[in-house]
Structure 1
Amino acid sequence: MEKIDTSYRFFPWITGALMAGVLVVPGFYVLLSLWLALFGAWHARGWIQRIWQPSQAIGAVPIWVGMAVYVLFGISVGLFHGYKAAYFDAYVPMLLAPFIVNAVVVARPPVKMLWFGAAAAAVLSGVVASYQSLYLQTGRAGGAMNNVIMFGDLAVVLAMVCAFGAFFGVTDTEPRWMRRFMFLGTAMGVWASLLSGTKGGWISILMLSVILVWMALRHWHWIRRVAVAGAVLFGVLVAAFLAPPDLVVNRISNGLQGAHTWLTTGQITEGSVSIRLEKWKQAIGMVVDKPLTGWTTEGSVIEIDKRLRQTSAGAYPGGGRWTQTENDLLQAAIVHGLPGLASSLFLYFGFLWGFIRIRQQAVHNMLWVGLATVGVLLVVLMLEFGLSVVVLGRNAFRHSLIFWGMSVLAYLILLRPQRPAGK
């Protein structure tokens, strides 16, 4: 990576402090994006040479194209339907993205800022979750989020970043406590997710455990790697059983029972799995009825609530008004039809394809591989979270996707191989 610009020594401290509080201090995830965007906008001159041309060189163009398609489609549809100003909030993080990348490239903070910021945020999330769930007996921990699912899922993202920081971001020449702090962040992020009782994060935890061990121990014999992966999975399962039963074990049992009942009888028996299966069923019917235009934002709320009340879902005692499908891609499809679904896929797969292309480049640098893999897995996690929550409909998810994606891209730009002068 290019030499650090010491004229911006304050940059990593401010950024790291904001990163540390993203899950436990209200509004910090927005402040983090705004701080970076304002810094990047102040130094926007030279963006083409500093960001766009290097993005072309490392294969990151699909990332920018995906965001551009998503934003242009969403804003155009919003203007056409005359949506209220709140609708356009969904596109603010993407509009800030170029400036976020520019901020990191201009300031050139050490890459440790990324790893330490994630670790501090994960540790704090685990501490706060323990305080809320175990000491205050509040049940499912939510940190400073207004939704426990967002807290649990984003804690998994922090754990993933910490784990890759431990294996790919800390060299053997650095103090041992640095890698231990990364591992602590990984464990606390997983613990926070478990205490949130968020089922969507548990599949991700198991998946990431296997992927990380397989990559980190790539030089080992496959039998040893399988053994270590099995030990890690066993450790995750032990942590799950150590958490209060109502947060993990009982929720898994109730969810499986609810799924079985819905599949056999169509009845809604609990407020997590069976209700989601019914929502998805009704959403598919709505997409079939209006595949091209969708039902619009307000129309989809009215229609899905109407359809659910005509089924056994209407008798569910946890009732109220059901306004979303709790599925990211289905929600996009019912609101703005298949074109809306396509715009969301452009965003996700633009990120995915871009980071895969970057990772495949012949750059013999483990930090490069680790960062590019974080970018790939970030998208995989968001897609997996989107199976049970509307990711692009939640501000915290949107800002997290853009912050981590753009930060990783910025460091990859700084790490890119430099051509010799005159070539």
Structure 2
Amino acid sequence: MNPSFLTEDRYRDAVSFLVNASVFLFFSLLLATKYGHSLAMVLMLVATLLAIPLKRNSKIPKEIKFASGFLLFLGFFWSHTFDDLFSLSLKGDYLVRYILGAWLMVVLSKVPINPHAVLYGLSAGGIAAGILATMQYEEMGRAEGFTNAIRFGDLAILMGIISLSAAMLKFFSTKERTFFAIASFFGLLASILSLSRGGWPALIAIPVIFFFIFRESKKIALFFTLSLLPIFLIFINLPPVESRIQEATKQINGYFDEHEQYVQTSLGARLEMWKTALLMGKEKPFTGWGDKNIQNKRLEYVEKSISNPVIMEYNHAHNDFLEMWARRGIIGIIALIGIYLIPILLIISFYRKNNYIIKNNERLISINKFLVISGVLIYFGYFIFGLSDVFFTFVIGHNFYLFSLIFILSSMQWIQKENSK
């Protein structure tokens, strides 16, 4: 490099700018555009390729090494069809996607992501989703973004709750906290207008967040938590929400009381698919039926009148655990528990390590707290969403899972870098 023009520090700053820009664009464009987050991923790939010549300032943390290995495992797991021992599939590009993610995880330790790119990206994404949802709800009666109403609403509620947690952190300025509160409103609005009931139980995380943020002052924590009760009552009585809850109650009761009439409704079909998946898993509990055989087995159940033909209209069981049970057996169930739990444990481990290092830096303590809240919320949210849907059916479900882990762990390295200055 020419020292008079482009020093290593300037080169590192330029690469860092590209990395952070791609992170912001990934979250902000994820729900509001059709291809925006894909373009952000391309920019991220370019930035990390440019980062290869950079020297590493410190050793790779053990959490990063473990996370990288975990992503490699997921690449092979999601691409394995479970039809036989060597039945790999390139469908969905899962193998390439997760191997690339493992590589990005390591390379980004050279240029850690600024947490503000994550924070403002998620907040901007919530606002954009809310605006788009308002337009689509008026036109179509339901907001679905450019993906699917369920995934749109579920990811929007995550953005809304994460933005709310940022608004509660006292370190940020009044203007910033106001912005985050507005972002929270729009994210939650997008979820409501998507009419996706499966994501709404994630709201139970809010009182836990308040206790975590304000645990130093039990009175404040109790005040904020109790203030949620009237907000909850207002939420369930909003016309779109109240209508969906009443509809759900009617369909569930109807499935058991007037089966033939209600089995083809939204929740009736889900219950029928859950029953079928449970029975299928019992027949082949260790490895499940695999990708090739599962539809044939479902058809067999229909032909034997064990299940209603409505189950053939869907290619999954609308429940992550039951789908894994039927498709990949006990092996899949164990892997799925790890898919939810391991990112949370990695993020908490990094959070504790950082907290030990940055004891007297209020700014970094607040940012570290925001990152652990965000990470736990995302993977807890995936668990909640998976109870009523198979969230990994679509590429967007994999992308948000994968890149959120990469970005949050990289941001936690940024905290260590800042603390050492």
- Give the TM-score, by structure 1 length: 0.83
Match of 1:258?
Answer: 251
Shift of 1:336: 2.4
Q: Distance in 2 between matches of 1:237 and 1:133?
A: 23
Shift of 1:140: 1.5
Letter in 2 for 1:295: W
Tell me the number of residue pairs that the alignment of Structure 1 and Structure 2 aligns.
401
Match of 2:187?
Answer: 189
Match of 1:140?
Answer: 142
5 Å-filtered alignment, 1:16-415, equals: 16-44=24-52, 53-56=59-62, 59=63, 62-75=66-79, 77=81, 80=85, 82=87, 85-86=90-91, 88-102=92-106, 104-134=108-138, 136=139, 138-145=140-147, 147-168=148-169, 171-172=171-172, 174=173, 176-204=174-202, 206-222=203-219, 224-242=220-238, 245=239, 247-263=240-256, 268-269=262-263, 271-308=265-302, 314=308, 321-361=313-353, 362-363=355-356, 364=359, 365-415=365-415
Shift of 1:61: 5.1
Shift of 1:352: 2.3
Q: Distance in 2 between matches of 1:193 and 1:419?
A: 37
Letter in 1 for 2:114: P
Q: Name the % identity.
A: 18
| Long gaps (5+) in structure 2 | 1-8, 360-364
Q: Distance in 2 between matches of 1:271 and 1:378?
A: 30
Shift of 1:399: 0.2
Residues 184 and 330 of structure 1: is their aligned pair in 2 closer, same or farther, counting only changes over 3 Å? same
Q: Distance in 2 between matches of 1:128 and 1:165?
A: 23
Note if contact 2:320-2:386 (Cα within 8 Å) is conserved in structure 1.
yes
Note if contact 1:23-1:151 (Cα within 8 Å) is conserved in structure 2.
yes
Note if contact 1:129-1:142 (Cα within 8 Å) is conserved in structure 2.
yes
Shift of 1:103: 6.0
Shift of 1:259: 2.2
Q: Deviations over 1:100-134 (max 9, x none)?
A: 43565444453221111111110010011011113
Q: Distance in 2 between matches of 1:231 and 1:101?
A: 40
| Long gaps (5+) in structure 1 | none
Residues 45 and 157 of structure 1: is their aligned pair in 2 closer, same or farther, counting only changes over 3 Å? farther
Q: Distance in 2 between matches of 1:253 and 1:50?
A: 57
Q: Distance in 1 between matches of 2:114 and 2:71?
A: 27
Q: Deviations over 1:353-411 (max 9, x none)?
A: 21232233343323223212321221111011111111222211110011111101001
Q: Distance in 2 between matches of 1:165 and 1:102?
A: 27
C-alpha RMSD over aligned residues: 3.2
Q: 2:33 aligns to what SS in structure 1?
A: coil
Residues 321 and 240 of structure 1: is their aligned pair in 2 closer, same or farther, counting only changes over 3 Å? same
Q: Distance in 2 between matches of 1:15 and 1:417?
A: 18
Instruction: State the structure with bigger RCO (CA 8 A, min sep 6), 1 or 2.
Output: 1
Note if contact 2:164-2:181 (Cα within 8 Å) is conserved in structure 1.
yes
Note if contact 2:255-2:268 (Cα within 8 Å) is conserved in structure 1.
yes
Deviating more after overlay: 60-69 vs 339-348: 60-69
Shift of 1:305: 4.3
Q: Distance in 1 between matches of 2:179 and 2:418?
A: 32
Q: Deviations over 1:237-291 (max 9, x none)?
A: 424544xx3x421211121222233355655446333322221121111111112
Note if contact 1:40-1:100 (Cα within 8 Å) is conserved in structure 2.
yes
Q: Distance in 2 between matches of 1:419 and 1:130?
A: 42
Shift of 1:24: 1.4
Deviating more after overlay: 120-129 vs 104-113: 104-113
Q: Distance in 1 between matches of 2:221 and 2:419?
A: 38
Shift of 1:77: 4.8
Q: Distance in 1 between matches of 2:114 and 2:107?
A: 13
Residues 220 and 418 of structure 1: is their aligned pair in 2 closer, same or farther, counting only changes over 3 Å? closer
Q: Distance in 2 between matches of 1:44 and 1:329?
A: 39
Residues 131 and 241 of structure 1: is their aligned pair in 2 closer, same or farther, counting only changes over 3 Å? farther
